[in-house]
Structure 1
Amino acid sequence: MEYKVHKLKVNMNEDQQILEQFLNNLHGEVVSIVPNVKPIFRANGSHCKS
């Protein structure tokens, strides 16, 4: 079985329609969507930033 990997840089507050349009135009089955989350370490604790 062959898989294709796509990477999109999307700001969910501004580019939600672009992501939705991309997903709707895909042919075949979407196996998973994995967000790229970067941990941020601060003095008061750690947070995540996408």
Structure 2
Amino acid sequence: MPDPRNREAWLLWLSKQRNDLEVPAQNLVPVIGNVLAALRAAPGVALARMSGS
């Protein structure tokens, strides 16, 4: 894991991680994909993901 004080390295590392349940969740509840797309398109958003919890 990168140093959490290094924003760019942290975002790059996070962007390479996956959530194996995100796609199945979107298949069950398609609006999840719409919400994630809207969040990702919002100004200033560097990364928007669904929690794996």
Is TM (by shorter chain) over 0.5? no
Q: Decide which structure has greater strand share.
A: 1
Pick 1 or 2: higher relative contact order, CA cutoff 8 A, min separation 6: 2
Q: Decide which structure has greater helix share.
A: 2
Given the two structures, how large is their TM-score scaled by the length of structure 2?
0.30
